[in-house]
Amino acid sequence: MSGYADIAAHYRGVILSGEMKPGDAMPSYAQAVETHGVNRTTIVRAYDVLKSEGLIMSQPGKGTVVAKNSVVITGAARVERMARNGLQYAHGETSTGHQVMRRSVADPDVCQALELEPGEEVVIRIRTFRQDGKPTSVGVSVYPPRTTDVVPELLADGQMQAGFFGNLYTDRTGRDVMKGQQLAYGRMASQDEITALELDTPVYRAEVVTVVISTFHDETGPLAYWEDVYAPGLKVPVGGVPPATSAVPASEPATN
């Protein structure tokens, strides 16, 4: 039998993975009771948790629906979502401003993460993610030569149609790509980030953004350094996309 936290985690994963979109009806209490094999009180508590997180809401005439919220997942969580259901973008999400460049790396954090000496060349990919047309984050991906030698597609301009480099890397090397620890912190936005996020910020005022760093590696060493820069006011779950199957019997659907 599942507890209310397990059921909340299940639907949280379904929503954050994009399998349900804003406005979709949640199962009624009676339907959820039957699906999960618990009592009504447990379902009510699970739904109350999701309401407190801004993921679902009560809507007159429709019952409980998925809310349009300010939760935006990280680039690493997008990888997990694609592995689970093939969705590169959430409902209403797009990306623009794709840039690809070769640069000499100087940032000490990037050098340390990728085990590079200052001045070594890397490939940097930049894009702006949007939700319903509004910028939500700037994604910066840095790849060392050991990665681009295997996946030269990373050097091509525009959006990568194959999705995450790890799929190609694993296919070609037989080595799994693993995610390292994610780190989140706040800092002042650069002018380029203010422009990309379309923030109406006076030149005399600092704008604080949330930054989430993700690293990727295989058994031979580091492969990528990702930095996601989020617009002020957004909520970012840094633990990745939660699993969505643990609270539902395999023979029954999660929703209607």
Return the structure tokens found at 156.
């091509």
Instruction: Give 137: exposed, middle or buried? Use CB within 10 Å, 0-12, 13-18, 19+.
Output: buried
Q: What is the pLDDT of residue 224?
A: 95
Query: What's the whole-number mean pLDDT along residues 92-115?
Result: 94
Query: Which SS3 state, helix, strand or coil, does residue 199 take?
Result: coil
Confidence of residue 88 (pLDDT cuts 50, 70, 90): confident
Instruction: Give 132: exposed, middle or buried? Use CB within 10 Å, 0-12, 13-18, 19+.
Output: exposed
pLDDT tens-digit series, residues 105-152: 999 999 999 999 999 999 999 999 998 899 999 999 999 999 999 999
Query: What's the whole-number mean pLDDT along residues 81-108?
Result: 87
Measured CA to CA, the distance from residue 240 to residue 256 in angstroms comes to 25
Confidence of residue 93 (pLDDT cuts 50, 70, 90): confident
Instruction: Give 76: exposed, middle or buried? Use CB within 10 Å, 0-12, 13-18, 19+.
Output: buried
Q: Which domains does the chain have, with CATH numbers?
A: 4-66 (1.10.10.10), 75-230 (3.40.1410.10)
Query: Which SS3 state, helix, strand or coil, does residue 30 take?
Result: helix
Q: What is the pLDDT of residue 238?
A: 67
Amino acid at 111: C
Q: 15: Cβ–Cβ under 8 A, 6 or more apart, which residues?
A: 50, 55, 56, 66
Q: What is the pLDDT of residue 164?
A: 62
**More confident call, 217 vs 82:** 217
Confidence of residue 75 (pLDDT cuts 50, 70, 90): confident
Query: Which SS3 state, helix, strand or coil, does residue 185 take?
Result: strand
E strands present in the chain: 56-59, 63-66, 93-104, 121-131, 134-143, 178-179, 183-188, 208-218, 221-230
pLDDT tens-digit series, residues 173-228: 999 999 898 899 999 999 999 999 999 988 788 899 999 999 999 999 999 999 99
Identify the bridge partners of residue 25 per DSSP, sorted by sequence position: 65
pLDDT tens-digit series, residues 19-58: 888 899 999 999 999 999 999 999 999 999 999 988 999 9
Q: What is the pLDDT of residue 254?
A: 33
pTM value is 0.78
Query: Across the chain, what does the average pLDDT equal?
Result: 86
- What is the rounded end-to-end Cα distance, in angstroms, of the chain? 21
